[in-house]
Amino acid sequence: MALVDAHLPVVQAERLDSYLRDIPRLIVPRGEGSKTLSHLEGFANDLLALGLGRDGLLVALGGGVTGDLCGTLAASYFRGIPFIQIPTTLLAQIDSSVGGKVAVNLQGAKNAMGYFHQPRAVIADLAFLDTLEAREKRAGFAEMIKMAAIADESLLDTLESKLDSLLTKSGAELEAAIERSCILKAKVVEQDERESGLREILNFGHTLGHAVESSGLEPTWLHGECVALGMVAALSLGDLLNMGESGMLARMENLLRAADLPVRLPRNLSPERILETLSHDKKAREGKSRWVLLENWAQPRWGLDVPEKALLQVLDQLRS
């Protein structure tokens, strides 16, 4: 049985058919709104009605939303059945399909109900990316920059030097960058599957990123766009706290600007609102948010508490 993002039959009908043939498809409505317990229940009832047993297999075909929903379904249906990920967005190919975290959202709490449930296989077919909107591709690219920043400076060099080609073509260069990103993420996950330590480095840029994402900002920003700004915030904090090597912030800002990703806070989002959202972050401990900062490229430190004064100063800087 397959869960398929609703937009794929519109833009990738042939490719979809070639993967699924006559496997029954359940259509997942587009967007984050599908990652809910009620969708989970609805799809579980569909599987039951269609006669899928505990020996069944699920296939997720779509972006991170479909992958997360399908993975959560697979992890819970009859206490867990296997699933395969066929990610169709750049973000899903390099990030959400790798590592086994699957979840749905509760109201106001992203990814609050979920599991660690590894897919049996991940098939990243670059041809799916041909129909992806440019803005979605750039948002996925932000996660690639994150992976490079925390784990591989040579990947960062590549992202800078091949930027145009990576953002506009689906050729060998993009394939190599996707493969490298997946290997880097898998290496981290292998060492700390359940995020009791090292895996936290994958949250670089996500502390502020999540706060912006769940701040109620209108018009909304994509996850990767929030992460882009979050990386600038983390490097600015590093500068302020004399932690990172000099020049890192400027290099990151240049790359993000070149990729047309945001590096400044929107005017209509106040530092107070961000601070409030940060204290509700699910990764916060005792109301204090936890940060990943970089001592240098590929030298992250995680689980850091940051003085509120420094944070306010950085937020102010990011509004200018």
Ligand X SMILES: NC(=O)c1ccc[n+]([C@@H]2O[C@H](COP(=O)([O-])OP(=O)(O)OC[C@H]3O[C@@H](n4cnc5c(N)ncnc54)[C@H](O)[C@@H]3O)[C@@H](O)[C@H]2O)c1
Please identify, using beta-carbon distances, which residue of 200 and 239 lies nearer to ligand X. Answer: 200
Please identify, using beta-carbon distances, which residue of 68 and 239 lies nearer to ligand X. Answer: 68
- The residue annotated as part of the active site, out of 199, 200, 225, 253, is 199
Q: Least distance in Å: CB of 17 to ligand X?
A: 14
Instruction: Give 136-177 as a DSSP string.
Output: HHHHHHHHHHHHHHHH-HHHHHHHHHTHHHHHH--SHHHHHH
Report yes or no: 70 and 83 within 8 Å, Cβ to Cβ.
yes
Other Cβ atoms less than 10 A from the Cβ of 65: the count is: 24
Helix, strand or coil, per DSSP, at residue 233: helix
Report yes or no: 182 and 124 within 8 Å, Cβ to Cβ.
yes
Counting Cα atoms < 13 Å in the Cβ hemisphere of 140 gives 28
Q: Is 7 a catalytic residue?
A: no
10 Å CB burial of residue 190 (0-12, 13-18, 19+) is exposed
Q: Which residue from 275, 274, 290, 142 is spatially nearest to 212, judged by alpha carbons?
A: 274
Q: Least distance in Å: CB of 239 to ligand X?
A: 27
- The residue annotated as part of the active site, out of 35, 138, 146, 185, is 185
Q: Is 223 a catalytic residue?
A: yes
Q: Is 101 a catalytic residue?
A: yes
- The residue annotated as part of the active site, out of 101, 117, 138, 180, is 101
- The residue annotated as part of the active site, out of 79, 242, 267, 286, is 79
Q: Least distance in Å: CB of 97 to ligand X?
A: 8
Alpha helices in 50-89 (DSSP H): 64-76
Tokens for 1, please give them. 């049985």
- The residue annotated as part of the active site, out of 105, 117, 143, 200, is 143
Other Cβ atoms less than 10 A from the Cβ of 127: the count is: 10
Q: Is 203 a catalytic residue?
A: yes
Q: Which residue from 96, 175, 168 is spatially nearest to 132, judged by alpha carbons?
A: 168
Instruction: Give the amino acid at 131.
Output: T
Summarize as ranges the residues that interact with ligand X (CB under 6 A).
5, 7, 11-12, 30-32, 35, 62-66, 68, 88-89, 91-92, 95-96, 99, 101-102, 111, 128, 131-132, 136, 223
- The residue annotated as part of the active site, out of 39, 137, 138, 210, is 210
Angle at 70 between CA 141 and CA 76, to 5 degrees: 135
Please identify, using beta-carbon distances, which residue of 66 and 207 lies nearer to ligand X. Answer: 66
Q: Is 117 a catalytic residue?
A: no
Q: Is 143 a catalytic residue?
A: yes
Q: Is 195 a catalytic residue?
A: yes
Please identify, using beta-carbon distances, which residue of 180 and 210 lies nearer to ligand X. Answer: 210
Q: Least distance in Å: CB of 55 to ligand X?
A: 25
Instruction: Give the amino acid at 112.
Output: A
Q: Least distance in Å: CB of 250 to ligand X?
A: 27
Please identify, using beta-carbon distances, which residue of 260 and 316 lies nearer to ligand X. Answer: 260
Please identify, using beta-carbon distances, which residue of 137 and 314 lies nearer to ligand X. Answer: 137
Q: Least distance in Å: CB of 242 to ligand X?
A: 31
Q: Which residue from 141, 240, 123 is spatially nearest to 181, judged by alpha carbons?
A: 141
Q: Return the active site residues.
A: 79, 101, 143, 185, 195, 199, 203, 206, 210, 223
